[in-house]
Amino acid sequence: MEPTIGEQLARIRRQSSLTQEQLAERSGVSVEVIQKLEQGRRKGARIPTLNRLARALEVPTSALFGDASSAAADREPHARPLSLVGIRRALTPVAGLDGELMALDLTESQLTLAAAEQAVADANRSYYANDYATTLRTLPALLAQVRALASVGVGDDQLAAHAVAADAHQVAGQLLIQLRQVDLAHVALTSAFNHACASGRRTVEASVICSLTWLTLRQGRFTEAERLAVQTADQVEPRLSTASAEEVSAWGWLLLRGAAAAARDARDDAAAEMLALADAGARRLASRAPTVGGFTTHEVRVMQVEAAVIAGQPDRALELSAGALRQPGQVSTATWQRHRLDVASARVQLGQYAGATEVLVDLRDRAPAWLRQQRYARDIVQSITEGRRRAMSTELAELAALVGCTS
C-alpha cells in the first residue's frame, strides 16, 4: 500500500536528522501542521505547503506525495488536488510525441481474468459499503491492469476482459460522482461504455448507461437524462415472459433513471408511466430469488417516494415509505441511505424538523463518510437550521459541520 503524505514526510525528515521543530523553522510551516500530517490527524496538504517542506528537506516536492484517499473521502479542505492524483493518472494518462504514456507504472504482476473479476467485485463492495478511501486507493492500479488485460486477450477471453474493464471503470465513475468530480466521472464512464461495447454484452452496456444517466442528472441535464434512459430502455426492452433476470433488471433500472429525470423536469405523468412499467417488471422477477441490491418492487417504491418528494407531496412520500422501507435490508445500502434523505426532506416540507434531524442523525451514525458527500443532506440541514424556532441543538450543529453547512 502506498505510504500517506504524512508517512513520507516523517520518513524523509528522520533521514535528514531534523526534528519537527527544526523542519518548521526551516520551512515556515507550523509545527502543528507537521505534527498533524505525521500523526495522520490530517491526511492531505496543499502543494505550496509541500513545496516549502520539500525545499527545507532538499528533496523534490513529488517525493512527499503519497496516498491521500482518506483525505478525499473526508472532503478535507487541504486534500485537492493530490487526493485524486492516482485516479487521474489512471483515467487521463498523458503521452509524448512517440505515444509513450507518462508516469503509468505497470510493474505489478498482471491479473488473471478470474483475479480481475474478484478485484472489481471487491472494489464494488467497498464502494457500496461507503468505504470510499479504500475504493479510491485500489482503483488506479486496478484500472490499469484491467485495461492491459483487455488489450492482450483473444476471443471469448478478450470479450470477458472488456466486460470486467467496463465494470471497473463504472465503479470509478460512480465513486467520482459521489466525490463530486463530475467531469472526471464522465471520463471514467465513457471508458466504461467503450469497454462495454467491445464486450458485446447489451446488459453491460445498459448498466453503464444507467450510470451515465445518473451523472447527467447530477449535472442538471434532465431532458438529456430522460431521453438517454428511455431510448436505451426501448432498445433493450425484454419479453417479460422469457427474458432473464439480468435483462429485466437492466431494463427496469433504466426506467427508474428515466422516471427520476422526468420527476425533476416536472413531468410527473411521464415519471408515473415509467414507474408503472418498472413495477410490472419487478413483479415479474418477484417469483425468482432476487438478491439485495437487485431490481425489486422495493426499488420501485423508493423511486415513487423520491418522485413524491420532488413533486411537493410529502404526505404521500411518507405514506409510501411506511412499513417495509423503514429498515435497511430489502434494498441496497446506498439506495436505502438515499431514500432516508427523501424521508428527511419530506419531514422538513411538513415542518417536522425534529423528525428530520432524527433521520439525519441515524444516517450520520450509520454512514458518516457517505453523508459527508451528499449535497442533498447539506440542503436539508440548511432548511432545518433556517426553519427551526429553537436554538440549534448539539446534534444539529454536528450535522451542519459534517455536511459543510454554513449556517
Per-residue pLDDT of the chain (407 residues; tens, 9 = 90+): 678 888 999 999 999 999 999 999 999 999 999 999 999 888 888 888 888 999 999 998 888 887 777 767 767 666 666 668 888 889 998 888 887 776 555 545 578 999 999 999 999 999 988 899 899 989 999 999 999 999 887 899 999 999 999 999 999 999 999 988 999 999 999 999 999 999 999 999 999 999 999 999 999 999 999 999 999 999 999 887 788 888 889 999 999 999 999 999 999 999 999 999 999 999 888 766 544 447 888 899 999 999 999 999 999 999 999 865 666 667 888 889 999 999 999 999 999 999 999 999 999 999 998 998 898 999 999 999 888 777 778 888 899 998 887 65
Give the whole-angstrom CA distance, residue 318 versus residue 330. Answer: 17
Model pLDDT, residue 154: 83
Residues 6+ apart with CB under 8 A from 267: 226
Contact 122, 138 (CB under 8 A): yes
Strand, coil or helix: 404: coil
- The H or E element spanning position 325 is none
| Partners of residue 4 on adjacent β-strands | 67
pLDDT value of residue 107: 47
pTM of the model: 0.83
SS3 (DSSP) at 327: coil
Label residue 178 exposed, middle or buried (CB < 10 Å: 0-12, 13-18, 19+). buried
CB atoms within 10 A of CB 305: 25
Contact 306, 342 (CB under 8 A): yes
Residue 110 has a pLDDT of: 74
Please check whether residue 306 is in contact with residue 339, taking contact to mean a CB–CB distance below 8 angstroms: yes
Owner of C-alpha cell 500517506: 4
296 secondary structure, DSSP code: -
Q: Are 378 and 339 within 8 A, CB to CB?
A: no
